Amino acid sequence: MKPIITYTNEPLKARITRDVFPKPEELVLKEKKTKVTLDLSQKSVDFFKSVAKKQRASYQGMIRQLLDYYVVNQSSL
């Protein structure tokens, strides 16, 4: 059973606080990128393109995120 909530007419204690959310321009991650030429197997490219199409994402971005994830996890060893 769900507990019964009882409301009262107590006065509200409101106060103004500083904005804790970042500015919209701070939400955009701007990492320095370096262009590289990389030969991948056709099987790998087809896989990423297929998944990216379903997710409406960039297959190159997915590969970049996978590599970044790998680097972060290897760095912590």
Non-local (6+) Cβ contacts of 61 within 8 A are 52
Mind listing the pLDDT tens digit for each residue in 20-70?
787 777 777 778 889 999 999 999 999 999 999 999 999 999 999 999 999
DSSP string, 28-75: S-------------HHHHHHHHHHHHHHT--HHHHHHHHHHHHHHHHH
Higher pLDDT, 19 or 63: 63
Write down the pLDDT at residue 77.
66
